[in-house]
C-alpha cells in the first residue's frame, strides 16, 4: 500500500485520454477522463454549463458529450490501436466522499479492434485519489475525505467520529441519495491510510507528526476545579498524557 501511495504522487506521463496524440498535463479528480492536455482541459471545463449530480461523470466522444455513472479516475492506454477504447461500467462499488455516499461503477475499458480489456485495480484507485476499505474494494473512500477529517479533528478536538459521519449522511440525503455509513469501516480505512502515509514520510525523510502540545500555541487546554490549566500531549516524545 505504501508503494502505491508513493506511485500516486508521480506526474502524469500518459497521453491525453480525450485527444490521444498529445501529452497529458492536467489530472482532474472530478472528471471521468482524468488525464487531459491543455486544450481538452479548457474544452471540458469551459463548455459544459449543465448542472450535474455528483454521481455523474462527463466524457467527450467526437464533438458530443455523454454522461456516465462511473467512478472518476485515470485510465491507462491498453493498446496501440487508433480506434480508441470504449469505457463502460464494471463492478459496482460504494464510494464515500465529502458529499456523502455514492453508488458508482468502476470503469472498464475494451478495445473493439484487438479485444484488449482493462479493469481498475488497487494501484489505479490509489493513483486516482481513492483508498479501499475492503480487500476487494467493494467500499472505497476518497483520500481527500480522510485528510479533511484529520484537519477538522485538529481544529475541533471535541468533534466525535459519529458526528462527522452523521454530517456525511446528511450530505448524502441532501444530494438525493440514501444509505448508511459504517463507522468501524471508516475508522479502519482511515488508520490504514495514516500508517501508509507515516511510512511514506519516513522513507522521504520528512517529519510525519508534529506535537501540537509542544508548540508555543497549545492544541487543547483543560481546566479542572482548582483552576489548574493542563496541556494535553500525545506525541512520541512525551507519551500519551499530560505535560
* Segment 56-113, tens digit of pLDDT: 556 565 555 555 678 888 787 888 776 667 777 788 899 999 889 988 888 888 887 8
Q: What angle do CA 91, 142, 66 make, to 5 degrees?
A: 55
Average of per-residue pLDDT across 169-194: 89
How far apart CA 11 and CA 26 sit, in angstroms, is 9
Q: Could you tell me which residue, 104 or 210, shows the higher pLDDT? A: 104
How far apart CA 132 and CA 111 sit, in angstroms, is 27
What's the pLDDT at 79?
80
Average of per-residue pLDDT across 112-129: 86
pLDDT band for 236, please (50, 70, 90 cuts).
very low
The residues with which 88 forms a beta bridge, in sequence order, are: 108
Residues comprising the chain, all counted: 243
Question: Is 201 strand, coil or helix?
Answer: helix
How far apart CA 86 and CA 95 sit, in angstroms, is 23
> How far, in whole angstroms, is CA 203 from its chain's centroid?
22
Helix, strand, coil shares of the chain, percent, nearest 5, are 30, 25, 45
pLDDT band for 29, please (50, 70, 90 cuts).
low
What pTM does this model have?
0.60
Percent of the chain with pLDDT over 70: 69
Q: Evaluate whether 201 touches 208 at the Cβ level (below 8 Å).
A: yes
Q: Evaluate whether 117 touches 81 at the Cβ level (below 8 Å).
A: no
Amino acid at each position: 500500500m505504501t508503494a502505491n501511495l508513493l506511485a500516486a504522487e508521480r506526474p502524469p506521463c500518459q497521453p491525453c485520454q480525450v485527444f490521444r496524440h498529445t501529452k497529458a498535463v492536467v489530472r482532474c479528480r472530478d472528471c471521468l477522463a482524468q488525464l487531459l492536455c491543455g486544450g481538452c482541459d479548457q474544452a471540458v471545463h469551459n463548455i459544459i454549463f449543465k448542472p450535474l449530480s455528483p454521481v455523474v461523470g462527463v466524457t467527450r466522444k467526437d464533438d458530443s458529450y455523454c454522461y456516465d455513472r462511473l467512478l472518476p479516475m485515470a485510465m491507462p492506454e491498453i493498446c496501440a490501436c487508433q480506434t480508441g477504447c470504449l469505457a463502460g461500467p464494471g463492478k459496482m462499488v460504494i464510494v464515500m466522499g465529502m458529499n456523502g455516499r455514492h453508488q458508482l461503477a468502476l470503469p472498464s475499458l475494451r478495445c473493439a479492434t484487438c479485444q484488449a480489456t482493462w479493469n481498475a485495480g488497487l494501484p489505479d484507485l490509489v493513483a486516482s485519489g481513492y483508498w479501499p476499505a475492503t480487500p476487494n474494494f467493494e467500499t472505497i473512500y476518497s483520500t481527500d475525505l480522510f485528510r479533511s477529517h484529520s484537519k477538522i479533528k485538529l481544529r475541533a478536538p471535541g468533534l466525535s467520529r459519529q458526528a462527522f459521519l452523521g454530517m456525511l449522511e446528511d450530505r448524502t440525503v441532501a444530494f438525493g441519495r440514501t444509505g448508511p455509513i459504517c463507522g468501524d469501516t471508516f475508522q479502519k480505512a482511515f488508520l490504514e491510510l495514516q500508517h501508509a502515509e507515516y511510512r511514506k514520510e519516513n522513507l522521504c525523510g520528512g517529519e510525519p507528526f508534529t506535537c501540537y502540545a509542544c508548540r508555543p500555541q497549545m492544541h487543547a487546554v483543560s481546566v479542572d476545579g482548582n483552576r489548574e490549566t493542563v496541556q494535553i500531549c500525545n506525541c512520541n516524545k512525551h507519551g500519551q498524557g499530560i505535560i
